[in-house]
Amino acid sequence: MFSSIPLFLFFFYFLTFSAIIFSFALSNFRPFRLPLCYGCIIENTIENVLEYFCVAARYHNITRASKELFVTQPSVSNAIKALEEEFGVNLFYRNNNKLTLTPEGEKFYQNAEELLAHADAVRSELHELRKQITPVRIGIPPMLGTIYLPDMYLSLKEEFPDVDFRLYEYGSIKACELVLEEKLDLAIVNAEQSAIDKCNLHIIDNEDLLFCVSKDHPLAEQSTLLLNMLTDESLVLFNTDSVQVMTLTRQFKAAGVNPHIVLNTSQITTLINMVKTNHIGCFLYKSMVDMYPELVGIPVFPAIEQRIGVIWRKGKYQNAVTEKVIRYLKNY
């Protein structure tokens, strides 16, 4: 729907203006030559020319018309001259600085006023249509939302002020499922999951996982950690269906580590508070560590890298707005 609006405007202006020109040109035995650049002429020049003519007709004066329109006097004079040359008739009688419509001018003025009124009505209707466009539904996990959402949402609203964005907080796996079920249009997810191949994927970032502890934790002074150093450490992690936790589980297994997990939670606040007030560790994306100055982020060797990407369903028709949003996020 959205992509058809310019085409709709084009045909509205083309057909309406052509009807006016056709009837007027017949009465003056001279056909009107429409310029080749229909789009720019119809949406800009023709409407402006008609408005300049109508305002000059109402005020009977070029100077007053130009002040009303906030344009120069030559702009108004040239618009009227272009119309008169095109039709081969005088639209005004000129007596010093006073303009009076000729019979041909009267006829053209009535048609031009009608066209401008229709144009305003169409714009109002299209503005209302924009408000009714299906919203763009975006899913994002809690942890990634902490990193990206504030700035990303503001950026999207600046780029697409008329779009109704609906944001939903889901884990990466659930968000992927909802995209495949067409209950979400797109999602920002951790791409380290098997179902990701069923979706279109564009990587927008790479994030290392850091082991995070309070500043008085015994490991806080370490510059780097091996996973086997966490054998006796108490950990608080996200829920077991989190892609991050699934990645850590594979890494622990490969390192022969059986971690002591005291809590799995879906709440970032709970996780952070547990780490701050107890000698407990957690894993956070590197970009998140600076948000919590009371914590220390320690790199793990070998590094645990997570790909972050925007996904949308393969083979699904996307409306023009969603396509633009996807292109924008791919370059975010």
CATH of domain 2-131: 1.10.10.10
The reported pTM is 0.61
Residue 170 pLDDT: 94
- Read off the pLDDT band of 319 (50, 70, 90): confident
Domain 137-309 maps to which CATH number in 1.10.287.610, 3.40.190.290, 3.40.50.300, 3.50.50.60? 3.40.190.290
186 compared with 88, residue with greater pLDDT: 186
pLDDT band at 130 (very low <50, low <70, confident <90, very high): low
Segment 139-146 shows an average pLDDT of 93
Q: How far apart are CA 31 and CA 39, in angstroms?
A: 20
pLDDT, mean of residues 100-116? 92
Average pLDDT of the chain? 85
Fold: same for 2-131 and 137-309: no
Alpha helices (H) along the chain: 5-28, 38-40, 47-59, 62-69, 73-87, 103-131, 142-159, 172-180, 243-255, 268-277, 286-289, 320-330
Residue 305 has pLDDT above 50, yes or no: yes
Q: Amino acid letter at 315?
A: G
* pLDDT band (50, 70, 90) for residue 128: low
Segment 35-57 mean pLDDT: 65
Longest CA pairwise span in the chain (Å): 100
pLDDT at 3 over 70: no
Q: What was the pLDDT predicted at 25?
A: 42
pLDDT of residue 232: 85
- Is the Cα dihedral 237, 238, 241, 242 positive or negative? negative
Domain ranges of the chain: 2-131, 137-309
pLDDT band at 127 (very low <50, low <70, confident <90, very high): low
Most confident among 149-153, 209-213, 265-269 (mean pLDDT): 209-213
Q: What is the pLDDT of residues 8-27, one digit of tens each?
A: 444 444 444 544 444 444 34
